[in-house]
């Protein structure tokens, strides 16, 4: 997986980030975006029954690449890998976590914001870096500013990416983007309106022109 990571990102370009209040709702959220053609699905580790949800989705959605996020420590990282997570997002830069994931050939995407943090994560061996929360420093313009000196580092902005502006981030130099509440508005999740969530994901795919 790690060897193909960049080509996977270049082909898919967008992550659906699911923070599930219950296992079944998380499952339906994942099925809804998968029905649109999205393939990169992140289940946050603080979701309800995250282990069971990841295990179930690996079986139910064999064409998707199921990972996890909000991983904070080494014990959780090993648990993520054991239950089948295919990639791991962290909200921070932790050399111990990066080295452990790299040793097991699992792509890890540490969260960073400043140039120093981004370069540090890259130098520790991360194959790509999450820029979070990107909107706090100017959104797509900040990504464009970073790609001048740091264009060799694959960046994945989250936190402020929307269906409408996702393509701006990609045009600015991001290799992929992550979306959560934009794909899964609280009102739609509470109403179990999975068809409209699928349509949201289709709109995203059309806007960023992935096939």
* Tens digits of residue pLDDT in 60-105: 999 999 999 999 999 999 999 999 999 999 999 999 999 999 999 9
Task: Work out how many domains the chain is built from and give that number.
Answer: 1
pTM of the model: 0.96
The CATH number linked to 149 is: 3.20.20.70
Inter-axis angle of helices 140-150 and 115-123, nearest 10: 50
Q: Tell me the pairing of strands 129-131 and 111-112.
A: parallel
Domain span at 182: 2-208
Does residue 3 register a pLDDT over 80? no
Question: CA angle at residue 118 from 45 to 121, to 5 degrees?
Answer: 65
Of 201, 211, 208, 207, the closest CA to residue 41 belongs to 201
CA distances from 177 to 130, 180, 205 (A): 9, 10, 12
Neighbours of 187 (CB within 10 A): 8
């Amino acid at each position: 997986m790690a060897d193909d990571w960049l080509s996977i990102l270049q082909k898919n370009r967008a992550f659906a980030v699911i923070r599930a209040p219950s296992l079944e709702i998380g499952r339906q959220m994942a099925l809804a975006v998968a029905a649109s053609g999205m393939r990169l699905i992140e289940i946050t580790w603080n979701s309800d029954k995250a282990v069971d949800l990841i295990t179930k989705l690996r079986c139910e959605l064999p064409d998707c690449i199921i990972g996890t996020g909000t991983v904070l420590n080494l014990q959780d990282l090993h648990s993520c890998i054991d239950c089948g997570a295919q990639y791991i997002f962290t909200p921070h830069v932790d050399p111990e976590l990066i080295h452990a994931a790299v040793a097991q050939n699992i792509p890890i995407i540490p969260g960073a914001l400043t140039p120093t943090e981004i370069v540090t994560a890259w130098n520790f061996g991360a194959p790509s870096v999450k820029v979070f929360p990107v909107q706090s420093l100017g959104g797509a313009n900040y990504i464009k500013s970073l790609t001048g000196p740091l264009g060799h580092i694959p960046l994945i902005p989250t936190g402020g990416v929307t269906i409408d502006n996702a393509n701006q981030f990609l045009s600015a130099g991001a290799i992929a983007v992550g979306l959560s509440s934009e794909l899964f508005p609280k009102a739609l999740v509470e109403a179990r309106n999975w068809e409209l969530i699928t349509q949201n994901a289709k709109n995203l795919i059309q806007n960023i022109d992935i096939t």
